Amino acid sequence: MSLVANRASIPNPRSVSGSSVIYWLYVTIKREIELSYWFMESNFDAAFVPFPIFTTASLLYRRATYAEAVLSLAYTLLYGFLFYYSTELANNAEGGTIEDKINKPNRPIVQSQTTVAAVKIRFYIASGTWLLLSYTLDVHMWSLLWVVVLISLYLLHFSRIGPAKDLCIVLGVVSQLMACWKLGGSDMHYGWRWVKLIILWIFFTVPIQDFRDVPGDLAAGRRTTPILLGDIPARIYTSLGLVSMEYILISHRVFELGYTLPTALMTSIISLVTLCLIYRLNFLRSIEHDRVSYRWHIALYNLILLTASVSFISRDHSLGTTLSL
């Protein structure tokens, strides 16, 4: 064999090294995407979907141009994703022991796909990036409020006591929705007029999420609202909250700018979903049914946010007298 042939058969160290790095990057990124999916798949509708919906409401309220809307929504999607990702990392790290083994056995820590320590490192990186972005977008005040909520829930263990947990979630919704309204560029005072009624609805109905987790919460020593009140009283409590708080929200906000066909249609849909949810809560009381009822509750929350957009679209076509609060 010739010297030239021998040289041709010797692999180039740089080529081998480059291929190994590319393959390692591919495997690492692929695994991280898969892990991120499993971290985040259970709360997409609650933690991410509200961002574009309520930012759109803010954009519609101030009649933003198409270019302004595209830019604001792009920032909102990035901000919302980092909010969602960092929140789910904190949630997974906190619940990675007894409670998740019973209530959420598919989570990565329970499945030994990663460790609590590794999840915390991801959380610090994601949260730092998110806080930097929030400062750039001038919504850092609302981001810092969410950090306080996370500290209260997971370091001070407010999540173990029903009313404290419910209040923390209310503050979390404030941080979420006010940031959305700010990103949409509208008057913050008017945004707060909507948000303050939405969080009243949240406070009295958020225990719906805890019915599905009672076995794991009991094993972990938590005392959520359904455990403190008892199963049947808690279901009656949340059902009354659904009806009373929605009446206030619809009468004082949805119809504030006038009675129109779109707002009447959205109100009818919300009322129908509410009645179905109340039926589910009181007559379909298994853990599996409660998991589905929680999804109905989140869908109702997003419908309420969507109704804000509908009311702003319809304001120039009002058919009746404006209400005020």
The pLDDT averaged over each successive group of 10 residues in the chain (325 residues) is: 46 61 86 88 91 97 95 98 94 72 79 87 95 97 96 90 96 97 96 96 97 91 95 98 95 85 93 97 96 97 94 64 41
The dihedral formed by the CA atoms of 89, 91, 94 and 99, expressed in degrees to the nearest 10:
-130
Domain membership of residue 118 (yes or no) is yes
Phi/psi at 286 (5° precision): -80, 165
Domain membership of residue 274 (yes or no) is yes
**Predicted pLDDT at 18:** 66
**Predicted pLDDT at 75:** 98
Domain membership of residue 83 (yes or no) is yes
Domain membership of residue 266 (yes or no) is yes
Three-class SS of residue 223? strand
Distance of CA 129 to the CA centre of its chain: 18
Domain membership of residue 4 (yes or no) is no
Phi/psi at 251 (5° precision): -70, -35
Domain membership of residue 22 (yes or no) is no
**Predicted pLDDT at 106:** 78
Domain membership of residue 140 (yes or no) is yes
CB 256 within 8 A of CB 311: yes
Q: The domain containing residue 69 runs over which residues?
A: 45-317
**Predicted pLDDT at 4:** 43
CB 276 within 8 A of CB 239: no
**Predicted pLDDT at 220:** 85
Model pTM score: 0.87
**Predicted pLDDT at 312:** 87
Domain membership of residue 75 (yes or no) is yes
Total domains present in the chain? 1
